[in-house]
Amino acid sequence: MSGRGAPPRNPFDPAFEQLPEVLPIFPLTGVLLLPGGRLPLNVFEPRYLAMFQESLAGHRLIGMVQPRQAGGFAGDGLPADGGAPPVQAIGCAGRVVSFAETPDGRLMITLSGLIRFEVGRELALHSGYRRVVPRFERFRADLDDSDRPFELDHGRLMAALQAFFRARKLSTDWDALKNAGNGDLVSSLAMVCPFAPDEKQALLEAANPEARARLLVALLEMAAMGGAGPAGGSRH
């Protein structure tokens, strides 16, 4: 990709002009990766083992994106006899920051969210996994403004979160949440709270961190009042 990039967030992250022109994608329903977030993955499908092994030897970037179909979400985006299911138009590229092999042949991966992308042309399968031509330009600010502070109604967020957790009999480390920075707090909650796939997609596509924070609070408040049904667990 062309263009001048801001300095990367750390020495291992690529600058904008270093982003790849071809990106492998990992389609998973209900799984959200946001810029600055950390996503653990348990990888066991042979095609995805091949994808991560080849990525580790190269740019180490993987595109997380949700599958879609008319009227909703379905499946894990694996190609089948009818062809590869369409995926959402927006995903998030993450860099592999840690991995461990297990004795039974799995990979335990952690992705660090880097920048969102528009899904461009899909390429032919490679070693069984899907690849696209990503368009990063629209989301350049994910890199340039990754550490920009923003306003957050912390009290309202915590009240909504407490009501949400009470309604679902969930527990958490409240002290850790209270001490987290605004960006880390919003990204972590958006990624781990059991929202429906379309709600996860809306959080991903929010224009900026402030908009994402407002949407997060609204979703928590609606869910606590029974106005939204969170999705079940996701499969990795």
DSSP classification of residue 107: E
The residue behind tokens 């001048």 is 4
pLDDT at residue 33, rounded to an integer: 97
pLDDT digit string (tens) for the chain, length 236 residues: 333 444 446 778 899 999 999 999 999 999 999 999 999 999 999 999 999 999 999 999 999 999 986 444 445 555 555 567 899 999 999 999 999 999 999 999 999 999 999 999 999 999 999 999 999 999 999 987 666 778 888 889 989 988 988 887 777 777 777 777 888 889 999 999 989 999 999 999 999 999 999 999 999 999 878 754 444 333 34
The residue behind tokens 């740019």 is 59
- Total residue count of the chain as it appears in this document: 236
Q: Are strands 61-65 and 23-27 parallel, antiparallel or unpaired?
A: parallel
DSSP classification of residue 101: E
- Per-residue burial over 74-96, b if 16 or more Cβ lie within 10 Å, else e, is eebbeeeeeeebebbebbbbbbb
pLDDT at residue 228, rounded to an integer: 46
HEC sequence for 143-193: HHCCCCCCCCCHHHHHHHHHHHHHHCCCCCCHHHHHHCCHHHHHHHHHHHC
pLDDT at residue 60, rounded to an integer: 95
pLDDT at residue 72, rounded to an integer: 44
pLDDT at residue 1, rounded to an integer: 38
